[in-house]
Amino acid sequence: MTRALYLYGGWPGHRPYDVAEWVLTETKELGLDVDTVNDPYRLEQDLTGYDLIIIGWTQAHTTENLTTRQEDSLLHAVENGTGVAGWHGMAASFRASLRYNQLIGGNCVSHPGGEGVEVPYTVRIVDPAHKVTDRVADFPVASEQYYMHVDPTNHVLAETEFSGEHLPWIAGSRMPVAWVRTWGAGRVFYSSVGHYPKDLQQPDAARLLRQGIAWACR
């Protein structure tokens, strides 16, 4: 049985408990044996027995950090084969932890349309041949459109384009939405879609997340 640790909670605006109810149904269908936890300090303990760590946590302040023990434990596990998968708030958490941000491959620095605003945009699949994007079509979203700082070593799977309505000087800029990467022997998957539960639950977004989780497992 594939073992996963699912860390969720934090900022209530992302409705982490509603999302968790749905995510746990998806992981059950994938055959994962999932331990759930609402305390990030669980990351200080040995994580190497897990095949995957799912991060559904969001913190509200950019100054919030991981302890050195949390960083050491997480990065050690991933380097030795434990995968990491998450969405949206995973890149808006622990932003004062440089090692965490390097592991994840990026962080959210802005949502130009505003917090919680349902900005209409399209997620365009740029690598349809990858296992994570298999049978995933381009899909519309009406949610926060994340402006990201991203790692150049990411393998980008999907992107979006900014219209410039809210910040004219970024009109036409293309921004990664979903990517995969490796860290030692571990795999990392991230998708920026998911401010509201309905964003994750639309068919193509759900397939992208489900296949991303499966791909990231050891």
* Percentages (nearest 5) of helix, strand, coil residues in the chain: 35, 35, 35
User: Which residue would you say has higher pLDDT here, 114 or 82?
Assistant: 82
Mean pLDDT, all residues of the chain: 95
CATH number of 2-109+147-154+175-216: 3.40.50.880
* pLDDT for 61 beyond 90: no
Q: What pLDDT score does 31 carry?
A: 96
Residue appearing with tokens 């994962």: 32
Work out the average pLDDT over 188-195.
96
Nearest to 58 by CA among 151, 209, 194, 215: 194
User: Which residue would you say has higher pLDDT here, 36 or 196?
Assistant: 36
| C-alpha dist (Å) from residue 62 to 27, 95, 101, 112, 189 | 30, 5, 12, 17, 22
3-state secondary structure 179-197: EEEEECCEEEEEECCCCCH
CA atoms within 13 A on the CB side of 85: 22
Percent of the residues in the chain that have a pLDDT greater than 70, as a whole number? 100
- Per the CB < 8 A criterion, the answer to whether 156 and 126 are in contact is yes
Q: What pLDDT score does 63 carry?
A: 82
Work out the average pLDDT over 27-37.
97
- Those residues whose C-beta lies under 8 Å from the C-beta of residue 197, and which sit 6 or more positions away, are 15, 18, 19, 22
Would you place residue 106 in the very low, low, confident or very high pLDDT band (cuts 50, 70, 90)? very high
* pLDDT for 64 beyond 90: no
| pLDDT one-digit tens code per residue, 119-174 | 999 999 999 999 999 999 999 999 999 999 999 999 999 999 999 999 999 999 99
To the question of pTM greater than 0.75 for the whole model, the response is: yes
Scanning the chain, the segments in alpha helix (DSSP H) are 16-29, 68-79, 98-104, 197-201, 203-216
* pLDDT for 89 beyond 90: yes
Percent of the residues in the chain that have a pLDDT greater than 90, as a whole number? 91
